Structure 1
Amino acid sequence: MTNLISVERLKRRLENGQNNTVVVDVRFKLDDEDAGRKMYLEGHLPGAVYLDLNRDLSGKVEKHGGTHPLPDFPTFIKKLENIGINHETTVVIYDEGNDMFAARLWWLLEAIGHERVYILEGGFKQWVEDGNEITSDIPKLEPKKFHAQFNEDKIVDMKTVREKLETNAVLIDSRAENRYLGDFEPFYSKAGHIPGAKNFPWQAVLTEDGRWLKGEELQEHFSSLDKEEEVIVSCGSGVSACVNILALKAAGFKQVRLYPGSFSDWISYDENEIEIGEGEL
């Protein structure tokens, strides 16, 4: 998978003084929105800066749009400039492990055309387990100019999802199976899934020891899907879906788009139907 970087490779890159690299810590907990920032302040990779899922990687929550709507992109790009990122910058993102929040930032950067973006394999946990240094020092940042624009073709909205489900497009739900089936729902007022969605839990693109699937394993995982068809990826609020998007692209799928609002946006429209298990509610 070309968008991964190993701990050893990142370590060499930093030791060799390759200064046009920005390391971003995106650790976060959905049930404790301040936990990620606290973890960063307690200790992070040398030179790393912190971006928060709610404050930096999402926009304002409104009636529609889901619980983690996309950020205002001019504001997001300005934040990238302030931490020293432009088109020439290599960006390395890390999470606690191989978690969903790193993929969210990877997707946002891809959506504005930034290609030099890598996720640290194994994340902060692997960095520490390998005996590498952490620090509580906050780096001094040198702002840069970043001329970028959001690519609207990367996403679909709720109405488009409705329309696409009448065509050959495939809708993926990236949540755990028990949430997809409606057996368990910890975050929203309604349970189940968008009618017609296929369940590909995002954790399933990782091995039992938490490593990303690669090569034949990844091809086998998505073998039931047609690479010629459009694939729309959703989850609860457009975060864990980004893990599947990264995996699908690594597996050679070209027509992959995100439904940013996902299930939390879908259920905000009273007229939208929901499926529980295999039946329609």
Structure 2
Amino acid sequence: MTDLISVERLKSRLNNMQNNTIIIDVRFRLNDEDAGRKMYLESHLPGAVYLDLNKDLSGRAEKHGGSHPLPDFDLFVKKLGNIGIDNDTTVIIYDEGNDMFAARLWWLLEAIGHSKVYILEGGLNGWVEAGNATTSEIPALQSKNYKAKFQEDKIVDMKTVREKIAVGTKLIDSRTEDRYLGDFEPLYSKAGHIPGAKNYSWRAVLSENGEWLKGNALEEHFSDLDKDEEIIVSCGSGVSACVNILALKGLGYKNIKLYPGSFSDWISHDENEIELGED
């Protein structure tokens, strides 16, 4: 996938002192919202800054909109400028491994048209396993001016999803199979999936040893999807869905939209039906 960068390429980039590069640590754990920041303060890639899923990459959860609604984009763009990003900055994002939180920031940058953004393959774990150094030093940042426009056509809301699935638009559910089926639901008061959704677990774009699928293996995984049709991607709260969007974009799918509220928003509307098991 073209939006990934290897540890070797990143190391070469840093050794060559390429200017206007910002590295962002987005490690996070859903069951411990302070864990990511604590891990960052203990050890991170040299020069990396930290952005938090709840505080920086999401807005405040309300009755509707899902448990990780999109952030206010004016505030998000201001934060980008505050950590030294402008329109020409190359942004490198990393997670603990090949996890879903890096893809969330990748998608947010995609949504404002930022072209120079990459996810580090293997995340911090891959960096360390390759023998590279980490630090606890917090970098000094120079604020910049970022000018951006959010691309509204990259998202759909609940009402649009309801209308689209009624006419046969493809809807992907990116959660693990047991949550999609309704056999297991650790986060929400209701279990199951949006009627008509097909399960493409975000974990399935990774191999058994946790590496990103590429080439024919990735093509085969999504072979039932037409590259010319509109595809809406969802999950629990609009985070893991971004992994599938990253993978689909890498394969040349162009008409892909995120349902940011996803299942957590869908079930907040009592009138919405829920399916259990396979369709």
TM-score where L is the length of structure 1: 0.98
Q: Secondary structure of 1:92's match? A: strand
1:134 matched to which residue of 2? 134
Where in structure 1 are there 5+ consecutive unaligned residues? none
2:194 matched to which residue of 1? 194
Given that residues 168 and 230 in structure 1 are in contact (C-alpha distance below 8 angstroms), is that contact kept between their aligned partners in structure 2? no
Give 1:17 deviation, angstroms. Answer: 0.8
1:230 matched to which residue of 2? 230
2:7 matched to which residue of 1? 7
1:151 matched to which residue of 2? 151
1:73 matched to which residue of 2? 73
Q: Secondary structure of 2:270's match? A: coil
Q: Which amino acid aligns with 1:71?
A: P
C-alpha separation in 2, matches of 1:178 and 1:166: 25
Q: Which amino acid aligns with 2:63?
A: K
C-alpha separation in 2, matches of 1:172 and 1:213: 18
Given that residues 175 and 240 in structure 1 are in contact (C-alpha distance below 8 angstroms), is that contact kept between their aligned partners in structure 2? yes
Question: Is 1:31 aligned to residue 31 of structure 2?
Answer: yes
1:184 matched to which residue of 2? 184
Give 1:125 deviation, angstroms. Answer: 0.2
1:258 matched to which residue of 2? 258
Q: Which amino acid aligns with 1:121?
A: E
Q: Which amino acid aligns with 2:58?
A: S
C-alpha separation in 1, matches of 2:103 and 2:70: 14
The size of the alignment, in residue pairs, is 279
Identify if the C-alpha distance between structure 1 residues 217 and 278 changes in structure 2 by more than 3 Å, giving closer, same or farther.
closer
C-alpha separation in 1, matches of 2:245 and 2:193: 19
Given that residues 95 and 102 in structure 1 are in contact (C-alpha distance below 8 angstroms), is that contact kept between their aligned partners in structure 2? yes
180-189 or 203-212: which moved more? 203-212
1:221 matched to which residue of 2? 221
Percent sequence identity is: 75
**What does the per-residue CA deviation read over 1:158-202, in whole Å, with 9 as the maximum and x for residues that have no partner?**
000000002241000000000000000000000000000000000
Question: How big is the alpha-carbon RMSD for the aligned residues of Structure 1 and Structure 2?
Answer: 0.7
Q: Secondary structure of 1:78's match? A: helix
C-alpha separation in 2, matches of 1:118 and 1:228: 25
TM-score where L is the length of structure 2: 0.99
Q: Secondary structure of 1:24's match? A: strand
2:248 matched to which residue of 1? 248
Q: Secondary structure of 2:91's match? A: strand
C-alpha separation in 2, matches of 1:73 and 1:140: 24
Where in structure 2 are there 5+ consecutive unaligned residues? none
1:54 matched to which residue of 2? 54
C-alpha separation in 1, matches of 2:148 and 2:228: 29
Give 1:227 deviation, angstroms. Answer: 1.4
C-alpha separation in 1, matches of 2:226 and 2:167: 14
Q: Which amino acid aligns with 1:79?
A: K
1:87 matched to which residue of 2? 87
Q: Secondary structure of 2:166's match? A: coil
Runs of 4+ with deviation above 4 angstroms:
none
C-alpha separation in 2, matches of 1:262 and 1:112: 20
2:119 matched to which residue of 1? 119
Give 1:86 deviation, angstroms. Answer: 1.1
Q: Secondary structure of 1:119's match? A: strand
Q: Which amino acid aligns with 1:75?
A: L
Give 1:4 deviation, angstroms. Answer: 0.5
207-216 or 254-263: which moved more? 207-216
Give 1:278 deviation, angstroms. Answer: 3.2
